[in-house]
Structure 1
């Protein structure tokens, strides 16, 4: 007989008995299936962890390559600029030497003509004096006067010869200097071309590495994680820098609103406080500029960090005292090293795209007691 419960028929005793027997045999099979699934999940988690670890290592390896190429670019760029400056100085020196050579040559020609005239006059006076003595019987006073005149011409002649010899010696010295400068010019040109080639090679390799890095962190989580890690690295660098600098300085509080901009004629790409990704915002500002634009210290202080830092590229950190620091990142090359004292307006680096940036720009940040400040509140309007 069937009895209704919540309007559902209740199974018969025979059916229930059969179901219990079936379930008794099925339970070990279900447990076995759950164990297999759990084991599969563990294997998948292990595989995913292994993949993530591998990706992390690959990303670190790529960042190491990026650092190597960007340091190579910085070094080659610095050497090329130095060679260019020295080359310009050598060219000026060569021009000056040629001008001096031309003036000395003209002087030599003039001195030779004077010497010729003196020799002719001396010859004529000496001959006339001898003839007068023999033929005309001139008095002793006239003879003495002619002799003195001949002697003065002879002295002038000796002086002219001495001047001519000195001028000739100067010309030879200028010629030797000119040859040395021309040789140096050839060496510098070769060096400049070599550094340019090295620079181009490193830039090409850097471009490929940056592209590979972007593929590794193309999703938002990867990008967010990289930015968070960069921020941690920066905090560590700042903490180390503060610990190593014990020189008392006045800070920049009195300069608030009056600090000069670190680069001139810059366009703001990113402002302080604007969204970077996820919940992260910009702790400083990014200023677009041309490659090689001088980056200047906004105030006097001491360089406490000058090296490559992941996410910031070639970076300079200046301690101004009283917990005030300014940070300059993305540079192509650095002009200062750790421990250097700098004055306001002094060039500390040149604009670049290090740290894997897409374009030439400067990352500028101001920190007070390790807390990021809005640079616009501190810079001149």
Structure 2
């Protein structure tokens, strides 16, 4: 009996043990399945987030391309306006000169007409004292000869006066015609200028919308810092290309402009534009990123001038810097001019110190018009203010 009870207890214990193992195995399998589902869900979420990031980046890049095209369009229009303004200025000067010449010719014409009147009166009076009347009155031959010579000279003077008057009339008519043409051209250029200004305003409005969309895509300071860092990398890449191009050009042919570098001109160079400094070299731009140049405030359309003679090695739109110009001054020294509205020089052009090279703007997505100015020596940025006249 006791053995039977023992065997029953063993059977019950074994049965319970088997049930527990089954339950454990079932629970373990369920946990694994649940974990796998969770892992799959995480992977799907990561994939979704990555797709969102990719789509956002693509949209951001697309907006940057739109901004580039819009700012290049603004640049072309601004250049047309600049050229039209110069043409109007030249026409104004030319018209003023023609008006002065016209007045001089009119005064000369009046003087010649008065002289001709006097000559005609003198000839008329001399005619009344003719050779025949002198002969009949018994005048001596010497007196007759003198009067004859006087009459001939009087006739010559009258003829010369008539020729001069005719020449003055012709020249005066030419001035009238030139003035008319110049004034008509002035009206045409004015009309073109007004059309281009309207086009510029329209393009600037479109640009503002794009710029607003771009800002909407930057949702954190980290994203903004990342964009700034990428912009700086692009600039460094372009610097390397520009440096290589400058070295190749120097080897290929002699440059007409002095390429002696900036070393001897520290604190003697003119400012590229006059204005207040918005950002100084070395100050914080974002996070640990610092300004490699300086930003000088100035109204849109103001002239940007080269600080020293050299050769243009880069003149194009660069993300973050807008329309940028880089001038090689020789011996590894380069100056950079960014945020421009338009560029007045192209790659390969020689420039002189204080020569206009661009117009101030807000390209590159800037909120206000200013000039980004930087100096690099052998590729390394240096404080540009220490090179300029105080």
Task: Say yes or no: does 1:357 pair with 2:366.
Answer: yes
Any idea what SS the aligned residue of 2:320 has? coil
Alpha-carbon shift at residue 309 of structure 1 (Å): 0.4
Q: Tell me, yes or no, if the aligned pair for 2:131 and 2:144 is still in contact at 8 Å.
A: no
Match of 1:226 in 2: 227
Any idea what SS the aligned residue of 1:245 has? helix
Distance 1:376 1:129 in 2: 90
Match of 2:281 in 1: 272
Match of 1:208 in 2: 209
Which of 344, 361, 373 does residue 382 from structure 2 map onto? 373
Match of 1:252 in 2: 262
Match of 2:61 in 1: 60
Write the deviation string for residues 127-146 of structure 1: whole angstroms up to 9, x where unpaired: 43166158535444443333
Distance 1:355 1:16 in 2: 75
Q: Tell me, yes or no, if the aligned pair for 2:81 and 2:196 is still in contact at 8 Å.
A: yes
Distance 1:115 1:17 in 2: 144
Distance 2:14 2:366 in 1: 77
Aligned positions, number: 369
Match of 1:315 in 2: 324
Q: Tell me, yes or no, if the aligned pair for 1:271 and 1:282 is still in contact at 8 Å.
A: yes
Write the deviation string for residues 86-127 of structure 1: whole angstroms up to 9, x where unpaired: 212212222222232233223223322332332343234334
Alpha-carbon shift at residue 49 of structure 1 (Å): 2.2
Distance 1:301 1:119, change over 3 A: closer
Distance 1:283 1:103, change over 3 A: closer
Task: Say yes or no: does 1:262 pair with 2:272.
Answer: yes
Match of 1:95 in 2: 96
Q: After superposition, where does 1:157-306 map in structure 2 within 5 Å? A: 157-246=158-247, 247=250, 249-264=259-274, 266-306=275-315
Distance 1:39 1:361 in 2: 52
Write the deviation string for residues 191-229 of structure 1: whole angstroms up to 9, x where unpaired: 211221122112111111111111111311221221121
Match of 1:149 in 2: 150
Distance 1:377 1:110 in 2: 64
TM-score (norm 2): 0.85
Q: Tell me, yes or no, if the aligned pair for 1:129 and 1:143 is still in contact at 8 Å.
A: no
Which consecutive residues of structure 2, in runs of 5 or more, have no partner in the other structure? 1-12, 252-258
Alpha-carbon shift at residue 355 of structure 1 (Å): 0.7
Match of 1:72 in 2: 73
Distance 2:146 2:351 in 1: 75
Alpha-carbon shift at residue 327 of structure 1 (Å): 1.6
Any idea what SS the aligned residue of 1:354 has? coil
Distance 1:380 1:123 in 2: 76
Alpha-carbon shift at residue 380 of structure 1 (Å): 4.3
Distance 2:161 2:115 in 1: 7
TM-score (norm 1): 0.87
**Pairwise CA RMSD of aligned residues?**
2.5
Any idea what SS the aligned residue of 1:363 has? strand
Distance 1:314 1:176 in 2: 43
Distance 2:96 2:260 in 1: 48
